[in-house]
Amino acid sequence: MERIMTGTSLRERKTNDWLRKLTRLSDVVRLYRQRKWRWAQRIARMDEDRWARRVTEWQPRIGKRGRGRPKKRWRDEIVKIAGVNWMAIARNDKGRWRQLEEEFLRRL
């Protein structure tokens, strides 16, 4: 869409960063990840009886495990960056949480 807006083609070998500077649009993937990270912080601060927090912490334990690779969960990316105790970090250490957010956004 940005290439159509600017009238450039792939043959001109212009980078996406160059296009974003020209059109002044934000990167959708970066915006999505930033909102996800901030929503995770809100979930961590919620009371334990709220449904969003309960669903995030829920572990299904029914029957055998399925074959193949386990399905990705919403929190897997957050755990990869912040560790297993990401909720405690989000609740108690704002400075560390912001540092981890920058790392999370760099790993696009």
For residue 48, being part of any structural domain is answered with yes
Domain that holds residue 39: 27-57+73-106
For residue 64, being part of any structural domain is answered with no
Handedness of CA 53, 57, 60, 65 (dihedral sign): positive
Q: How many CB atoms neighbour CB 100 within 10 A?
A: 19
| pLDDT tens-digit readout, 38-86 | 999 999 999 999 999 999 888 877 778 788 998 888 999 999 999 999 9
Count up the domains in the chain and report the number: 1
Task: Say what the pTM is.
Answer: 0.78
For residue 21, being part of any structural domain is answered with no
For residue 18, being part of any structural domain is answered with no
